[in-house]
Homo-oligomer: A and B are copies of this chain.
Amino acid sequence: MTYGKAPTTPRSTLVITAHAGDFVWRAGGAIALAASRGEKVTIACLTYGERGESAKAWREGKSLEEIKEIRRAEAEAAASTLGARVRFLDAGDYPLLVTQELTDQLVRIYRDTQPDVVLTHPLDDPYNGDHPAAARMALDARVLAQAIGYPSEGEIIGAPPVFFFEPHQPEMCGFQPEVLLDITPVWETKRKAMECLAAQQHLWDYYTDLGKRRGVQLKRNAGPNLGLPHATYGEAYMRPYPQVTEELA
Protein backbone atom coordinates (compact mmCIF):
# COMPACT_ATOMS: atom_id res chain seq x y z
CA MET A 1 0.00 0.00 0.00
CA THR A 2 1.19 3.49 -0.80
CA TYR A 3 -0.70 6.41 0.68
CA GLY A 4 -2.96 8.20 -1.73
CA LYS A 5 -2.73 5.45 -4.33
CA ALA A 6 -5.83 3.50 -5.29
CA PRO A 7 -4.88 0.07 -6.56
CA THR A 8 -6.71 -0.31 -9.90
CA THR A 9 -7.49 3.00 -11.62
CA PRO A 10 -4.79 5.26 -13.02
CA ARG A 11 -3.89 8.03 -10.61
CA SER A 12 -5.54 11.37 -11.14
CA THR A 13 -3.95 14.81 -10.75
CA LEU A 14 -5.99 18.00 -10.59
CA VAL A 15 -4.30 21.34 -11.33
CA ILE A 16 -6.29 24.48 -10.47
CA THR A 17 -4.95 27.76 -11.83
CA ALA A 18 -6.05 31.33 -12.24
CA HIS A 19 -4.90 31.94 -15.80
CA ALA A 20 -4.39 29.96 -18.97
CA GLY A 21 -0.61 29.96 -18.89
CA ASP A 22 0.10 29.29 -15.23
CA PHE A 23 0.17 25.51 -15.42
CA VAL A 24 2.89 25.52 -18.05
CA TRP A 25 5.49 27.73 -16.42
CA ARG A 26 4.98 26.51 -12.90
CA ALA A 27 3.90 22.89 -13.03
CA GLY A 28 4.63 21.73 -16.55
CA GLY A 29 7.22 19.29 -15.31
CA ALA A 30 4.98 17.69 -12.71
CA ILE A 31 2.19 17.39 -15.26
CA ALA A 32 4.41 15.83 -17.91
CA LEU A 33 5.91 13.43 -15.37
CA ALA A 34 2.47 12.24 -14.24
CA ALA A 35 1.30 11.88 -17.84
CA SER A 36 4.45 9.98 -18.72
CA ARG A 37 3.53 7.43 -16.04
CA GLY A 38 0.14 6.92 -17.66
CA GLU A 39 -1.74 9.00 -15.14
CA LYS A 40 -4.67 11.30 -15.83
CA VAL A 41 -4.09 15.05 -15.43
CA THR A 42 -6.90 17.60 -15.48
CA ILE A 43 -6.22 21.32 -15.51
CA ALA A 44 -8.96 23.67 -14.36
CA CYS A 45 -8.20 27.17 -15.66
CA LEU A 46 -10.48 29.63 -13.92
CA THR A 47 -9.82 32.35 -16.51
CA TYR A 48 -7.95 32.85 -19.76
CA GLY A 49 -5.81 35.56 -18.25
CA GLU A 50 -7.35 37.77 -20.90
CA ARG A 51 -7.00 41.07 -19.06
CA GLY A 52 -4.07 40.69 -16.72
CA GLU A 53 -1.63 38.58 -18.65
CA SER A 54 -2.13 39.56 -22.26
CA ALA A 55 -0.61 43.01 -22.45
CA LYS A 56 0.97 42.37 -25.82
CA ALA A 57 -2.34 41.45 -27.45
CA TRP A 58 -4.08 44.49 -25.98
CA ARG A 59 -1.33 46.71 -27.33
CA GLU A 60 -1.87 45.14 -30.74
CA GLY A 61 -5.51 46.19 -30.55
CA LYS A 62 -7.04 42.74 -30.26
CA SER A 63 -10.57 42.43 -28.87
CA LEU A 64 -11.45 40.68 -25.62
CA GLU A 65 -12.92 37.71 -27.47
CA GLU A 66 -9.95 37.40 -29.78
CA ILE A 67 -7.60 37.43 -26.84
CA LYS A 68 -9.55 34.75 -25.02
CA GLU A 69 -9.52 32.64 -28.15
CA ILE A 70 -5.75 33.01 -28.57
CA ARG A 71 -5.10 32.15 -24.95
CA ARG A 72 -7.41 29.15 -25.12
CA ALA A 73 -5.70 27.80 -28.21
CA GLU A 74 -2.25 28.27 -26.74
CA ALA A 75 -3.19 26.63 -23.46
CA GLU A 76 -4.79 23.69 -25.22
CA ALA A 77 -1.69 23.17 -27.32
CA ALA A 78 0.51 23.32 -24.24
CA ALA A 79 -1.73 20.95 -22.28
CA SER A 80 -1.78 18.52 -25.15
CA THR A 81 2.01 18.66 -25.36
CA LEU A 82 2.24 17.83 -21.68
CA GLY A 83 -0.33 15.01 -21.96
CA ALA A 84 -3.10 16.71 -19.97
CA ARG A 85 -6.66 17.87 -20.49
CA VAL A 86 -7.67 21.44 -19.73
CA ARG A 87 -11.09 22.77 -18.68
CA PHE A 88 -11.80 26.51 -18.88
CA LEU A 89 -14.22 28.07 -16.43
CA ASP A 90 -14.05 31.54 -18.01
CA ALA A 91 -14.74 33.30 -14.70
CA GLY A 92 -13.14 36.60 -15.73
CA ASP A 93 -9.75 37.79 -14.55
CA TYR A 94 -8.22 40.95 -13.14
CA PRO A 95 -9.83 40.63 -10.78
CA LEU A 96 -10.77 37.00 -10.37
CA LEU A 97 -13.31 37.16 -7.56
CA VAL A 98 -13.85 34.50 -4.89
CA THR A 99 -17.46 33.45 -5.19
CA GLN A 100 -19.52 30.61 -3.87
CA GLU A 101 -20.70 29.77 -7.39
CA LEU A 102 -17.20 29.28 -8.69
CA THR A 103 -16.19 27.33 -5.60
CA ASP A 104 -19.17 25.08 -6.20
CA GLN A 105 -18.08 24.47 -9.79
CA LEU A 106 -14.73 23.37 -8.44
CA VAL A 107 -16.40 21.00 -6.00
CA ARG A 108 -18.02 19.32 -8.96
CA ILE A 109 -14.67 19.02 -10.74
CA TYR A 110 -13.09 17.51 -7.63
CA ARG A 111 -15.84 14.92 -7.36
CA ASP A 112 -15.68 14.23 -11.05
CA THR A 113 -11.91 13.83 -11.28
CA GLN A 114 -11.34 12.20 -7.85
CA PRO A 115 -7.79 13.54 -7.65
CA ASP A 116 -4.97 11.74 -5.87
CA VAL A 117 -2.89 14.91 -6.03
CA VAL A 118 -3.87 18.57 -6.24
CA LEU A 119 -1.66 21.40 -7.54
CA THR A 120 -2.46 25.08 -7.20
CA HIS A 121 -1.03 28.56 -6.45
CA PRO A 122 0.24 29.58 -3.03
CA LEU A 123 -2.04 31.74 -0.88
CA ASP A 124 -0.07 34.99 -1.16
CA ASP A 125 1.01 37.00 -4.16
CA PRO A 126 1.37 40.76 -3.84
CA TYR A 127 1.85 41.08 -7.58
CA ASN A 128 -1.32 39.35 -8.73
CA GLY A 129 -4.45 38.92 -6.62
CA ASP A 130 -5.97 36.38 -8.99
CA HIS A 131 -3.48 33.74 -7.90
CA PRO A 132 -4.44 33.76 -4.22
CA ALA A 133 -8.12 33.93 -5.19
CA ALA A 134 -7.74 30.75 -7.24
CA ALA A 135 -5.83 29.04 -4.45
CA ARG A 136 -8.41 30.06 -1.87
CA MET A 137 -11.21 28.51 -3.89
CA ALA A 138 -9.15 25.43 -4.75
CA LEU A 139 -8.60 24.75 -1.04
CA ASP A 140 -12.14 25.55 0.02
CA ALA A 141 -13.64 23.37 -2.68
CA ARG A 142 -11.36 20.49 -1.73
CA VAL A 143 -12.73 20.56 1.82
CA LEU A 144 -16.36 20.86 0.71
CA ALA A 145 -15.95 18.02 -1.78
CA GLN A 146 -15.01 15.73 1.10
CA ALA A 147 -18.33 16.25 2.90
CA ILE A 148 -21.15 13.85 2.24
CA GLY A 149 -23.52 16.58 3.37
CA TYR A 150 -22.43 19.04 0.70
CA PRO A 151 -25.08 19.03 -2.04
CA SER A 152 -23.24 18.38 -5.26
CA GLU A 153 -23.21 15.56 -7.74
CA GLY A 154 -20.69 12.77 -7.64
CA GLU A 155 -18.88 10.77 -5.03
CA ILE A 156 -17.14 12.52 -2.16
CA ILE A 157 -13.38 12.64 -2.40
CA GLY A 158 -10.64 11.62 0.05
CA ALA A 159 -8.02 14.02 1.33
CA PRO A 160 -5.60 14.29 -1.60
CA PRO A 161 -2.29 16.00 -0.82
CA VAL A 162 -1.98 19.56 -2.06
CA PHE A 163 1.12 21.11 -3.57
CA PHE A 164 1.60 24.83 -4.14
CA PHE A 165 3.65 25.50 -7.25
CA GLU A 166 6.20 28.28 -7.46
CA PRO A 167 5.05 31.85 -8.09
CA HIS A 168 6.90 34.32 -10.30
CA GLN A 169 8.64 36.13 -7.42
CA PRO A 170 8.80 33.37 -4.82
CA GLU A 171 10.42 35.26 -1.95
CA MET A 172 7.75 37.96 -2.08
CA CYS A 173 4.98 35.36 -1.77
CA GLY A 174 6.24 33.52 1.30
CA PHE A 175 7.21 30.66 -0.97
CA GLN A 176 9.81 28.27 0.40
CA PRO A 177 10.80 25.14 -1.55
CA GLU A 178 9.62 22.22 0.57
CA VAL A 179 9.65 19.67 -2.24
CA LEU A 180 12.13 19.63 -5.13
CA LEU A 181 10.81 17.53 -7.99
CA ASP A 182 13.26 16.10 -10.50
CA ILE A 183 11.79 16.90 -13.93
CA THR A 184 14.88 16.08 -15.96
CA PRO A 185 13.24 13.17 -17.81
CA VAL A 186 10.49 15.44 -19.15
CA TRP A 187 12.43 18.66 -19.53
CA GLU A 188 12.23 18.73 -23.31
CA THR A 189 8.48 18.27 -23.10
CA LYS A 190 8.11 21.18 -20.70
CA ARG A 191 10.22 23.39 -22.94
CA LYS A 192 8.03 22.49 -25.93
CA ALA A 193 4.90 23.29 -23.94
CA MET A 194 6.34 26.66 -22.98
CA GLU A 195 7.01 27.37 -26.61
CA CYS A 196 3.29 26.95 -27.32
CA LEU A 197 2.79 30.23 -25.45
CA ALA A 198 4.00 32.46 -28.25
CA ALA A 199 2.99 35.74 -26.69
CA GLN A 200 5.16 35.28 -23.64
CA GLN A 201 8.42 34.37 -25.33
CA HIS A 202 10.40 36.41 -22.79
CA LEU A 203 9.39 33.84 -20.18
CA TRP A 204 10.78 30.82 -22.01
CA ASP A 205 14.32 31.57 -20.92
CA TYR A 206 13.28 32.87 -17.52
CA TYR A 207 11.65 29.55 -16.66
CA THR A 208 14.43 27.56 -18.28
CA ASP A 209 16.87 29.35 -15.98
CA LEU A 210 14.56 28.65 -13.05
CA GLY A 211 14.41 24.96 -13.98
CA LYS A 212 18.21 24.82 -13.94
CA ARG A 213 18.40 26.74 -10.68
CA ARG A 214 16.00 24.37 -8.94
CA GLY A 215 17.94 21.51 -10.49
CA VAL A 216 21.18 22.74 -8.95
CA GLN A 217 19.47 22.99 -5.58
CA LEU A 218 17.94 19.56 -6.03
CA LYS A 219 21.38 18.08 -6.57
CA ARG A 220 22.70 20.01 -3.59
CA ASN A 221 19.95 18.64 -1.36
CA ALA A 222 20.06 15.13 -2.73
CA GLY A 223 23.77 14.80 -2.11
CA PRO A 224 26.63 14.40 -4.51
CA ASN A 225 26.71 10.62 -4.34
CA LEU A 226 23.67 9.97 -6.46
CA GLY A 227 25.27 10.47 -9.80
CA LEU A 228 22.61 12.89 -11.00
CA PRO A 229 23.37 14.27 -14.47
CA HIS A 230 25.00 17.67 -14.79
CA ALA A 231 21.91 19.13 -16.42
CA THR A 232 19.31 18.34 -13.81
CA TYR A 233 16.07 20.30 -13.96
CA GLY A 234 13.75 20.82 -11.07
CA GLU A 235 10.46 22.32 -9.95
CA ALA A 236 9.81 23.53 -6.41
CA TYR A 237 6.62 23.00 -4.41
CA MET A 238 5.22 23.70 -0.97
CA ARG A 239 3.00 21.38 1.06
CA PRO A 240 0.25 23.12 3.03
CA TYR A 241 -0.70 19.78 4.62
CA PRO A 242 1.61 17.26 6.24
CA GLN A 243 3.04 14.44 4.17
CA VAL A 244 1.65 11.05 5.16
CA THR A 245 4.08 8.24 4.70
CA GLU A 246 5.20 4.78 5.72
CA GLU A 247 8.89 5.56 5.52
CA LEU A 248 11.13 8.52 6.26
CA ALA A 249 13.17 9.29 3.16
Contacts and interface: CB of A to CB of B under 8 A. Distances in A.
A33 interface: yes
A91 interface: no
A160 B222 CA distance: 7
Given A30-B248, A206-B213, A180 B243 contact: yes
Number of copies: 6
Interface stretch (A53-61, A81-89, A191-199): A53-61
Q: A140, A181, A244 — which one has the most chain B CB atoms within 10 A of its CB? A: A244
Given A1-B226, A95-B140, A172 B52 contact: no
Nearest to A224: B158
Given A4-B249, A147-B52, A180-B242, A139 B126 contact: yes
Contacts of A151: 51
Contact of A140 (B1, B129, B179): B129
A216 B151 CA distance: 27
14 contacts: A95-B100, A95-B144, A117-B249, A159-B222, A160-B223, A161-B248, A171-B176, A172-B177, A181-B248, A210-B213, A221-B241, A221-B244, A236-B242, A237-B248
